[in-house]
Amino acid sequence: MKIAIQNQIIDSINRVLPEVVERDVAIPNIPNKTHSIIGMRRTGKTYFMFQKIQDYLKQGVDRSRLVYLNFEDERLIDMTVNDLHWIIDEYYALYPENRSQPVFFFWMKFK
């Protein structure tokens, strides 16, 4: 499981982001809180997340601090809630220099 998570993180950070049609949607920035994007299928939730990643990049956030994980990926399909801590552990094993920086995780479709 650890190797699968590491590979997902590395793939995410190396991924070329798709072109997005920017939406004028504001999510209030509440420090230290999680934001959830919910909605019907095929309404742009994933691309809205890609837009947010691009917004952070424009603000100067390093790409290694922006991680997108899709739990429908076959490498993560068997993960349970009890395994989620491995994501944080493996991220910091790969990027220990980011421990003192905010890291943004974008997660898609956890069971």
| pLDDT, tens digit (0-9, with 9 covering 90-100), for 61-108 | 999 999 999 888 888 888 888 999 999 999 999 999 999 999 999 988
Band of residue 110 on the pLDDT scale cut at 50, 70, 90:
low
Confidence at residue 3, expressed as pLDDT on a 0 to 100 scale: 92
Spatial separation of the C-alpha atoms in residues 97 and 93, rounded to whole Å: 9
Confidence at residue 74, expressed as pLDDT on a 0 to 100 scale: 87
Residue in the structure block whose two tokens are 């997340």: 49
What one-character DSSP code corresponds to residue 11? Answer: H
Element (DSSP H or E) covering residue 105: strand 104-108
Q: Could you tell me the two tokens for 44?
A: 């742009």
Nearby residues of 68 by Cβ (< 8 Å), 6 or more positions away: 12, 15, 49, 50, 53, 106, 107, 108
pLDDT in tens, 5-39: 999 999 999 999 999 888 888 888 888 888 888 88
